[in-house]
Structure 1
Amino acid sequence: MSNSYAQPVLRTTDLSAGLQIVQQLLAIADLRDLEVDFEARVSSTDVLAALLELIPDAEWWAEGDRDGSSDKGDDPAAHLPIRLRGWAMSPETVEPFLKAVGESPASVRWDFNAWPEAPEVGLGVGGTRGAFVTLCVNVRDLDLTEPSTDHTVFVHVKQVEAERAPWLAAQVGLGVIGDLVMAPY
């Protein structure tokens, strides 16, 4: 398995504008097998409680050099701040997740079957390893390490199909606004 590569196409303080661009990108994708993955940096018991209610079987681990994880059966509230992930969630859980995270750094990644053919840049249909859209909220990077008051939309592509990212951005009236970077997962 290889990682996808991601390139930012929108940065905005308006979360609804970010979600609108995500929906426009999803409208051109092959959404068979659509699922959503979540990740958040959690430092508050209130945010933790809301997230665990939504994702009771979430994977989590203590940040930094500290010990504690869901694998060990530890209590996440005793190990804050933590990283929390939910895998293969339904798209209907996006809004409740965003409400639960509040102002915490988080990401939502839509995972689907394929990007469409991009004949203008010489590309056929893009396969599953590079078919994602990520919305990073309250943070500027995919690793959730650069807190911010704005939100960033990334398109993911295969590294060998890097020219697909600007093509995708153009399909929704945008351009790329940063470098192509290897996505963390």
Structure 2
Amino acid sequence: MANSYAQAVLRTTDLAEALRAAGRLLELADTTELEVDFEARVSTPGELERLSGVMPDAEWWSYGADRHGSSRDGGVPSECLPIFMRRWCMAPEAVDAFLAATGNVPAMVRWDFRGWPEAPEVGLGCGGSRGAYVTVCVNARDLDLEEPTPDHTLYVHVTQVQAERAPWLAAQVGLRVIGELEMAPL
């Protein structure tokens, strides 16, 4: 498992605004190898049904006190609620359907791409694929989806040794960092 470092650059109740800002960041990136990852905390059978439809073959595991079961052990997700679902390497075109299925569920879309551009103002060359992500946490303020909220948070990911790239990227699209740099397990 790899890690990146993420920094929040926008918090808004307007999901469309968060997605537009994510799009502006992606315009800076080398997206020749673009894919998206989806994650969601699922609590009800209705949420499970909606999200299973847009996350086929999703990996899942139960969470919370005294919960057991996962896709690895052949469990039945509807019998193990609440669960955490994850589906990696989806086509970018799947984002709209995923977001439509989330409703009020804490969820995350992470765009994974080839690298960040050169940032000469802060002394950085092009960034490689490690640490090159943009994430929108929907209905959550944290990357682990443990703080459900009615707003959405946009993060840029960088490598720890290139932490100064995050505020530079935010500034390129008219934003600023609003939180500390934090480790983001992938």
**What range is the shorter-chain TM-score in?**
over 0.9
Alpha-carbon distance, 1:177 to partner:
0.3
1:154 partner amino acid = Y
Distance 1:9 1:36 in 2: 19
Q: Please, which runs of 5 or more residues in structure 1 have no aligned partner?
A: none
1:47 aligns with 2:47: yes
In structure 1, the partner of 2:180 is 179
Indicate if the aligned counterparts of 2:10 and 2:153 stay in contact, CA closer than 8 A.
yes
Percent identity between the two aligned chains:
64
Whether the 8 Å CA contact 2:4–2:184 is kept in 1: the answer is yes
Give the Cα–Cα distance (whole angstroms) in 1 for the partners of residues 157 and 17 of structure 2. Answer: 19
- The secondary structure found in structure 2 opposite 1:149 is coil
TM-score w.r.t. length of structure 2: 0.97
Q: Secondary structure at the match of 2:3?
A: coil
1:47 deviation in Å?
Answer: 1.4
How large is the Cα RMSD of the aligned pairs?
Answer: 0.9
Counterpart AA for 1:150: D
Aligned to 2:71: 70
C-alpha distance in 2, partners of 1:117/1:2?
23
Q: Which residue of 2 aligns with 1:14?
A: 14
Q: TM-score, normalised by structure 1?
A: 0.98
1:80-102 per-residue CA deviation (whole Å, 9 max, x = no partner) reads 10000011000011111111111
Distance in 2 between the 1:128 and 1:172 partners?
A: 20
| Partner residue in 2 for 1:81 | 82
Aligned equivalent of 2:104: 103
Partner of 1:29: 29
* Alignment-mate amino acid for residue 176 of structure 1: V
Q: CA deviation at 1:33?
A: 1.3
Q: Distance in 2 between matches of 1:173 and 1:53?
A: 36
In the alignment, is the contact (CA less than 8 A) between 2:2 and 2:185 conserved in 1? no
Amino acid at match of 1:54: V
Return the alpha-carbon distance in structure 2 between the equivalents of residues 130 and 68 of structure 1.
Answer: 31
**Using the alignment, how far apart are the partners of 1:96 and 1:18 within structure 2?**
16
Match of 1:123 in 2: 124
1:134-173: CA deviation from partner (whole Å, max 9, x where unpaired): 0001000001111111000000000000000000000000
CA contact (8 A) 2:119 2:126 kept: yes
| Partner in structure 2 of residue 141 of structure 1 | 142
Query: CA shift at 1:50, angstroms?
Result: 1.3
Runs of 4+ in 1 over 2 A off after TM superposition: none
Give the SS at the match of 2:50.
helix
- Looking at structure 1, the residues matched to 24 and 129 of structure 2 have their Cα atoms a distance apart, in angstroms, of 19
Secondary structure of residue in 1 paired with 2:130: helix
Question: Gapped runs of 5+ residues in structure 2?
Answer: none
Counterpart of 1:45 in structure 2: which amino acid?
A: P
The one-letter code of the counterpart of 1:5 is Y
Q: Distance in 2 between matches of 1:178 and 1:32?
A: 29
1:169 and 2:159 are equivalent in the alignment: no
